[in-house]
Amino acid sequence: MIVSIESPFKQPATTGVMCLILDRSFDPDLLSHLYQGEEQSRPSCIPLFTGTPYADLQPAGPYAVLCPDKGAAADFIGALLERADAGCVAWLSNPESLDHGVEHWRSLLTVRTDDEPQQMMRFFDPRWLEPLLLSLDEAERTQFLGPFNSLAWRNEIGWRYYAKAPHSPETVVQPPAWLYLSPQRQTLIEQGRLKVIATRFADDYRDALPPEDAVEFVHRQLLAGQDMGYAQMADQERWLRLAIMRGDTFWARSPDAELLARDDIALGDKLTKLESL
């Protein structure tokens, strides 16, 4: 079960050793920031792409980080994850398992699809972790966590947390591309991502939404907007505002339906015209 938590940098979510994946593409000076401060407070950093087909991308790639509880590095990491989609947090029972954890994370970098037998997946992207986890069954989620006991990430809803069930079976590192993203699973992941955004918008606009089933109302609007080509969050929010102002299924009624059907007007301009009606 996925639950909301306080930032693990303010309130510990669980016991164990905190490890992270931090993506250097969000901060080219990542390593300099991590290695500032006193030597005993500096984290251990392991380049995650090393030894994988993506090694050439490592200069702007992710690092596995064993994080100290306190110090300049911990403060920097907490601030980075609050402002950017730069990675996720996981917990090990002991620091000696870090190499095993890194090997496991490397196995997750490559997935199988019907189009590609080996395709890179940035599984640590916090925007997609929740939809991905929800697309897996319990056994797959246990294998996805591998040697880690639990996982946390920050998405549009806030800080989220998933822990293995007690007494989960031990896992072994699988070969790369063990995870298969079927077309059905990819659809589930995309739908799950939209549900996360709907949950955020339902909270932001709760005073203007129906008191019951607000998330379902928002989700229905976003699905309709997606069918019309609105996939960016800023456009999705504009679409929701139109639904609040013009009513549920506004896109199917005249004159809105005729305007939305026109091919000679850009998507953004359609929203602007609808907002002016």
Q: Which residues pair with 180 in a beta bridge?
A: 112
Q: How many domains does the structure of the chain reveal?
A: 2
| Tokens describing residue 234 | 């800023």
Q: How sure is the predictor about 209, in pLDDT bands with cuts at 50, 70 and 90? A: very high
> What is the layout of strands, in order, in the sheet containing 17-23?
3-4, 158-163, 150-155, 87-92, 17-23, 62-66, 44-47
Query: Is residue 75 in a domain?
Result: yes
147 lies in the same domain as 102: yes
Phi, psi for 94 (deg, rounded to 5)? -150, 155
The mean pLDDT of 183-190, rounded to a whole number, is 96
- Helix, strand or coil, per DSSP, at residue 66: strand
Please work out, in degrees rounded to the nearest 5, the angle formed at the alpha carbon of residue 269 by the alpha carbons of 263 and 274.
Answer: 100
Last residue of a domain, one of 145, 180, 215: 180
Determine, yes or no, domain membership for 166.
yes
Residue 84, both tokens: 């950017």
* Measured distance CA(128)–CA(188) in Å, rounded: 11
Q: Within this chain, do residues 82 and 170 fall inside the same structural domain, yes or no?
A: yes
Instruction: Note the pLDDT tens digit of each residue in 14-26.
Output: 888 999 999 999 9
In the prediction, which pLDDT does 277 show? Answer: 87
How far CA 114 is from CA of 111, 148, 161, 175, 179, in Å, comes to 10, 29, 30, 18, 12
Measured between its terminal Cα atoms, the distance across the chain in Å is 44
pLDDT in tens, 46-88: 999 999 999 999 999 999 999 877 778 888 999 999 999 999 9
Judge whether 191 lies within some domain.
Answer: no
pLDDT tens digits, one per residue of 35-57: 886 666 678 899 999 999 999 99
Looking at residue 39, its pLDDT comes to 65
**What is the pLDDT, as a whole number, of residue 15?**
82
Same domain for 122 and 224, yes or no, is no
Residue 40 has a pLDDT of: 63
Q: Which domain holds residue 253?
A: 205-276
> Are residues 151 and 233 part of one domain?
no
Q: Are residues 157 and 214 in the same domain?
A: no
Report pLDDT for 41: 63
Rounded to an integer, the average pLDDT of 107-115 is 96
